[in-house]
Structure 1
Amino acid sequence: MVYFLIALIVFLIDQGTKYLIATRLTIGEQIPVIGDFFLITSHRNRGAAFGILQDQRWFFIVITTVVVIGIIWYLQKVKHQPNKMLPTALSLVLGGAIGNFLDRAISGEVVDFLQFNFGNYTFPIFNVADSCIVVGVALIILDSLMEIRREKQIAAAQQDHEEKV
């Protein structure tokens, strides 16, 4: 249950921040937070990451529905394992996916507002849901790498034991 609570918290923070941006700033309006490096910028995205696949609303709705169902199924499967990184990561991805899904389903676009500039390069504007999805995926990759390492250590220990016997 705690993992669905994490997903709910991610979803609520995401939707709350998007609501504040959508209702208090006009599109394109910027609030400097750390000079020109970090700004709150009201932006709308009708596509996916980096603005790709613009105006493919139904594609995103179908894909996200499948992904959310898959995450919930897999989360149910792994939630009782001693390793807590994977279900926590899945919770972050789930909360973020549902947050962006709701935006697309209701309005056909996602509210983005976190803007970072690195000199002349402006990183694509994103939101809390996007951040949680990226962190969740990074943790899933880290967990997979750690699992491979654990399996190699177990195999080496078993081989060592067999050689001694």
Structure 2
Amino acid sequence: MYFIIIAFILIADQGIKYLIRAAMELNQSIPLIDGIFHITYIHNYGAAFSILQNKTVFLIAVQVIVISGILVYLVKKRKTEHPMLLLSLAMIVAGGLGNLIDRAANGYVVDFLDLRFWPIFNIADISVCVGCGLMVLYVLIIEPKRSRSKI
């Protein structure tokens, strides 16, 4: 189940990035809601919020290590861990893989979702952020209840 979620997010992310690259010029911006939401095609040579610019090899190494560790955990714990934790990890892996594919193939990540007041981002970034949010909810709400029930 979780590997289907990873595949779905990864296909959506890579498919939309392919369409953006094919249909738009670099730095072109198309307003969908003028001044609020644009599709703006850029290359991000760093990580989230463009930190660690031009540290491609380092970023690839970190992504490979983190994604590999999470995948091993997902395989080993898929039958015993809480579904929300597993979903959060699957979303983090999917987003991480989407950006890793870009970075390894091109040396940059394709970003295109532009809210005008926030750094431009992509589907993979959304997946990682939602996955992290679900993990925070799991740690703050579900895990304490599970721990108490084991006592």
The answer, yes or no, to whether TM exceeds 0.5 is yes
Question: Which residue matches 1:25?
Answer: 24
Instruction: Pick the aligned partner of 2:132 from 121, 134, 137.
Output: 137
The CA deviation at 1:153 is 4.4
TM-score (norm 2): 0.93
Question: Which residue matches 1:61?
Answer: 60
Question: Which residue matches 2:35?
Answer: 36
RMSD: 1.5
Quote the Cα distance in structure 1 between the aligned partners of 2:99 and 2:81. Answer: 30
In structure 2, list runs of 5 or more residues that go unmatched.
none
TM-score (norm 1): 0.86
1:16 aligns with 2:15: yes
Cα deviation digits, residues 15-38 of structure 1 (max 9, x gap): 001111111101111111122111
Question: Which residue matches 2:104?
Answer: 105
Which of 1 and 2 has greater Rg?
1
Aligned length: 151
Q: Secondary structure at the match of 1:28?
A: coil
In structure 1, list runs of 5 or more residues that go unmatched.
159-165
The CA deviation at 1:41 is 0.5
Quote the Cα distance in structure 2 between the aligned partners of 1:137 and 1:148. Answer: 15
How much identity, in percent, do the aligned residues show? 38
User: Structure 1 29/91 Cα, relative in aligned 2: closer, same or farther at 3 Å?
Assistant: same
Quote the Cα distance in structure 2 between the aligned partners of 1:91 and 1:60. Answer: 20
The CA deviation at 1:148 is 4.1
Q: Secondary structure at the match of 2:115?
A: strand
